[in-house]
Structure 1
Amino acid sequence: MTGLDQRRDDAVALPRGPLVGFAAGSLGMGVWVTVPGLLLLYFLTDVLAVTPWLAGLTLLLPKIADVLLHPWIGHRCDVEQARRGHRRRLLLAGCALPVAFAALFAVPGDLTGAAAAGWVAVLFVAGNLLFAAYQVPYLATPADLRIGYHERTRLMAFRMVVLTLGILVSGLLAPLLTGGDDATRAGYLRMAVVLAAGMLAAMAVGVVGIDRLRRTAAAPAAPHGAGGWRALAASLRDRQFRALVGAYLAMSTTTHLVLAGVPYYAEYELGRPGLTTVLVAAFVAPALLVTPAWLALARRVGKQRALLAGQAAFAAGSLVLAVGRPAGLPVLVAAVAVLGVAFAGMQLLPFSMLPDVIRAAGAQRAGTYTGVWTATEATGAALGPYAYALCLAAGGFVASSAGQTVTQSPAALDALRWGFGLLPAAVMVVAVLLQRRYTLDGSARSGTGH
Structure 2
Amino acid sequence: MTAHSMSVGAQADTSAHDGRIATSVLARYGIGQLGAQVFRDTPAVLLPLFMTTMLGVEAWLAGLVVLVPKLWLIVCDPLVGAWSDRARGRFGRTPFLVAGAVLTGLGFLALFTLTKSGSPLLSAAITCALFFLASTAFSMFSVPYLAIAAALSHDAHERTRIMVFRMVFSTLGVLVGVGVAQPLVYGLGGGDFGWTVMAVVLGLASMATMLVTALGLMRVPMIVDQTAPGTLRSQLGAIAGNRPYLVLLTTCLVQNVGQAAGYTVIGFIYLYALQAVWIVPAFILIMSICGIVAQPMWLRLSRTWGKERAYVVASLGWAAVTATWYFIHPADDVLVTLPGLGALGTQHVLVLVRGGIIGVVNSAFVMLSLSMLTDTIDYQRRHKGVANEGVFAGLFSAFEKLSFALGPVLAGLVMSAFGFVSSTGGAVAQTPQAIHGIVLLYSLIPVGTQLVSLLIFSRYRLDR
* TM-score where L is the length of structure 1: 0.90
The answer on whether the counterparts of 1:258 and 1:420 sit within 8 Å (CA) in structure 2 is yes
The 5 Å alignment of 1:10-25 reads: 11-25=18-32
| 349-358 vs 220-229, which moves further | 220-229
The 5 Å alignment of 1:4-403 reads: 11-81=18-88, 83-84=89-90, 86-95=92-101, 96-180=103-187, 182-214=189-221, 218-325=222-329, 328-362=347-381, 363-403=386-426
CA distance in 2, matches of 1:283, 1:258: 16
Partner of 1:447: none
Structure 1 residue matching 2:44: 3-state secondary structure: helix
Partner of 2:338: none
Residue deviations 1:152-174, cap 9 Å, x none?
A: 00111111111211221232221
Matched to 2:105, the amino acid is: P
Offset at residue 65 of structure 1 (A)? 0.2
Partner of 1:419: 441
CA distance in 1, matches of 2:310, 2:436: 34
After superposition, the CA RMSD in angstroms is 2.1
Offset at residue 220 of structure 1 (A)? 4.3
Residue deviations 1:323-342, cap 9 Å, x none?
A: 22288332243234323322
The answer on whether the counterparts of 1:388 and 1:419 sit within 8 Å (CA) in structure 2 is yes
Unaligned runs of at least 5 residues, structure 2:
1-12, 331-345
Structure (1 or 2) with the greater helix fraction: 1
Structure 2 residue matching 1:274: 3-state secondary structure: helix
CA distance in 2, matches of 1:135, 1:263: 25
Change (3 A) 1:410 1:90: same
Task: State which of 433, 439, 445 in structure 1 corresponds to 2:461.
Answer: 439
Structure 2 residue matching 1:86: 3-state secondary structure: coil
| 377-386 vs 422-431, which moves further | 377-386
The answer on whether the counterparts of 1:262 and 1:280 sit within 8 Å (CA) in structure 2 is no
Residue deviations 1:120-165, cap 9 Å, x none?
A: 1111111111111011111111222343110000111111111211
Offset at residue 180 of structure 1 (A)? 3.4
CA distance in 2, matches of 1:402, 1:300: 54
Residue deviations 1:275-321, cap 9 Å, x none?
A: 33344334444212111211111111111111111111111112111
The answer on whether the counterparts of 2:105 and 2:204 sit within 8 Å (CA) in structure 1 is yes
Matched to 2:176, the amino acid is: V
The answer on whether the counterparts of 1:35 and 1:170 sit within 8 Å (CA) in structure 2 is yes
The answer on whether the counterparts of 2:228 and 2:235 sit within 8 Å (CA) in structure 1 is no
Matched to 1:304, the amino acid is: E
CA distance in 1, matches of 2:17, 2:93: 24
Change (3 A) 1:109 1:439: closer
| 35-44 vs 249-258, which moves further | 249-258
The answer on whether the counterparts of 2:14 and 2:223 sit within 8 Å (CA) in structure 1 is no
Residue deviations 1:49-102, cap 9 Å, x none?
A: 111111111111211101111111111111112x42622221122122101110
| 271-280 vs 157-166, which moves further | 271-280
Offset at residue 11 of structure 1 (A)? 4.0
CA distance in 1, matches of 2:224, 2:115: 50
The answer on whether the counterparts of 2:81 and 2:392 sit within 8 Å (CA) in structure 1 is yes
Matched to 2:79, the amino acid is: W
Matched to 1:322, the amino acid is: Y
CA distance in 1, matches of 2:115, 2:443: 35
Offset at residue 109 of structure 1 (A)? 4.3
Offset at residue 360 of structure 1 (A)? 0.9
Change (3 A) 1:425 1:33: same
- Give the paired residue count: 432
The answer on whether the counterparts of 1:34 and 1:171 sit within 8 Å (CA) in structure 2 is yes
CA distance in 2, matches of 1:60, 1:38: 14
CA distance in 2, matches of 1:356, 1:331: 37
Change (3 A) 1:316 1:404: closer
CA distance in 1, matches of 2:460, 2:431: 44
Unaligned runs of at least 5 residues, structure 1:
1-5, 445-450
Change (3 A) 1:49 1:275: farther
The answer on whether the counterparts of 2:186 and 2:194 sit within 8 Å (CA) in structure 1 is yes
The answer on whether the counterparts of 1:48 and 1:113 sit within 8 Å (CA) in structure 2 is yes
The answer on whether the counterparts of 1:269 and 1:413 sit within 8 Å (CA) in structure 2 is yes
